Amino acid sequence: MSSRKSTTWIAGTCLVVSMLGSVFLLKNTDRIRPGDIVDDALYISSAKLVRKASLGFNGLMACIYWTRTVQYFGHRHYNRERTYNELAPLLEITTALDPHLLPAYQFGASFLAPAPPNGAGQPERAVRLMQYGIEHNPANWRLYYDLGFVYYTELHDYKKAEEVFAKGSQVPDAHPFLKVLAADMATHAQDFNTARLLWSAAYESTKEATIRQNAVDHLRAIQVDEDVTNLQIAVTRFVQTNGRIPTSLWEVVSAEHWRGIPVDPDGNPYELSLDGQVLVANPDNFPFITMGVPPGYQPGPPKSHAKG
């Protein structure tokens, strides 16, 4: 073998071996390093400083920060973490870098507002974020809709929700359902149908698959909550009539002259606990339900359902 060939052979082997070795070592290092420390590191917390450091390319920097926000939230949400310490600062930096980055407001509010584990449980900061968004994008009716949504679903401040929906309905080219929502807030704020209308509007007003999926999950949860409420009323009526808790839902079905045991959106019949509570067969399939879960229930990893 010539000297040149042997050099090529040795150098090539060294290159491949050292490359594989470094990948192997990095994989091992990742296992050793505490993930939370890496996740929580917000190197620069000042939006102004990041803006200056971007040398005028703040649009690109905002995209990078937004992607980082999505990754931060997605990672912690998937792991059912209950703290999202860096979420609000990340969103605030993102929107300060680019006040016209609409997805950061729309998704940001839905990341920030819901209670853990579905969100950061910071509806007040979500409201501030949306107000900042409206201030910089006053002609965008979607932002009013999203702000009203936070007031309605998380803060249960129906008066404020009504005001915001009404204000949003005055924006040129606003979707007509804002007027309907404003009217509903005034009269039927706590009805299942109002909630259903709100989430149906969320589904229909976007093409973004993630928002649509979230809306589908909420619509399924509303259906379950309504079913469980009605079934629970029937069970209470049975107890009042017969002076005892029914042994199964079949007794309630028979007393109410129904055709069969009502089923949840997945087609599974509802169940009855020994103490007369109506339960969902698989609560993990309905991440946003507020009724029908057994006492002490701990939700599993997040799931999504394509069918509404």
Partner 1 sequence: MNARIASIAYNTFREAVRDRVLYNLIAFALLLSAAAIFIGQISIEIERLVVINLGLTAVTLFGVVIAIFVGIGLVSKEIEKRTLYTVLSRPVRRWEFIVGKFFGLAGTLVVNTFFMAIGVFGALLYVAHRFSGADAAIFAALYFIILQFLIICAVALLFSSFSSPLLSAVFAFSLFVIGSFADDLRGFATLTHGLTRWIATGVAYLVPNFSSLNVVSAVAHQQPIAWQLILQNTFYALLYTVMALSGAVLIFDRRNLK
Q: Which stretch binds partner 1 (CB under 8 A): 4-12, 64-72, 116-124, 154-162?
A: 64-72
# binding residues, partner 1 (CB under 8 A): 21
Q: Interaction with partner 1 in 243-302: which residues (CB under 8 A)?
A: none
CB 280 within 8 A of CB 293: yes
Give the nearest distance from C-beta 54 to partner 1 in angstroms. 9
Give the nearest distance from C-beta 194 to partner 1 in angstroms. 27
Question: Does 75 interact with partner 1 (rule: CB under 8 A)?
Answer: no
Question: Does 173 interact with partner 1 (rule: CB under 8 A)?
Answer: no
CB 144 within 8 A of CB 171: yes
DSSP for 61-79 reads HHHHHHHHHHHHHHHHHHT
- Whose Cβ is closer to partner 1: residue 67's or residue 170's? 67
Question: Does 138 interact with partner 1 (rule: CB under 8 A)?
Answer: no
The tokens of 300 are what?
A: 């599993």
Question: Does 56 interact with partner 1 (rule: CB under 8 A)?
Answer: yes
208-230 b/e (C-beta count within 10 Å ≥ 16 → b): eeebbebbbbbbbbbbbbbbbee
The label of the residue with tokens 């507002």 reads 113
- Whose Cβ is closer to partner 1: residue 56's or residue 176's? 56
CB 122 within 8 A of CB 89: no
Question: Does 109 interact with partner 1 (rule: CB under 8 A)?
Answer: no
Q: Binder to partner 1 among 46, 71, 236, 282 (CB under 8 A)?
A: 71
Alpha-carbon gap, residue 272 to 68, rounded angstroms: 44
Residue closest to 73 by CA, chosen among 57, 89, 61: 89
Question: Does 304 interact with partner 1 (rule: CB under 8 A)?
Answer: no
Q: Give the CA radius of gyration of the chain.
A: 26
Q: Which stretch binds partner 1 (CB under 8 A): 99-107, 112-120, 236-244, 269-277?
A: 99-107
CB 86 within 8 A of CB 51: no
Alpha-carbon gap, residue 80 to 75, rounded angstroms: 9
Q: Interaction with partner 1 in 208-237: which residues (CB under 8 A)?
A: 208, 210
CB 143 within 8 A of CB 134: yes
Alpha-carbon gap, residue 129 to 64, rounded angstroms: 18
Give the nearest distance from C-beta 288 to partner 1 in angstroms. 20
Q: Binder to partner 1 among 12, 17, 52, 282 (CB under 8 A)?
A: 52
- Whose Cβ is closer to partner 1: residue 101's or residue 272's? 101
Q: Which stretch binds partner 1 (CB under 8 A): 37-45, 58-66, 144-152, 296-304?
A: 58-66
Question: Does 55 interact with partner 1 (rule: CB under 8 A)?
Answer: yes
Residue numbers of the site for partner 1 (CB under 8 A)? 52, 55-60, 62-63, 66-67, 70-71, 98, 100-103, 107, 208, 210
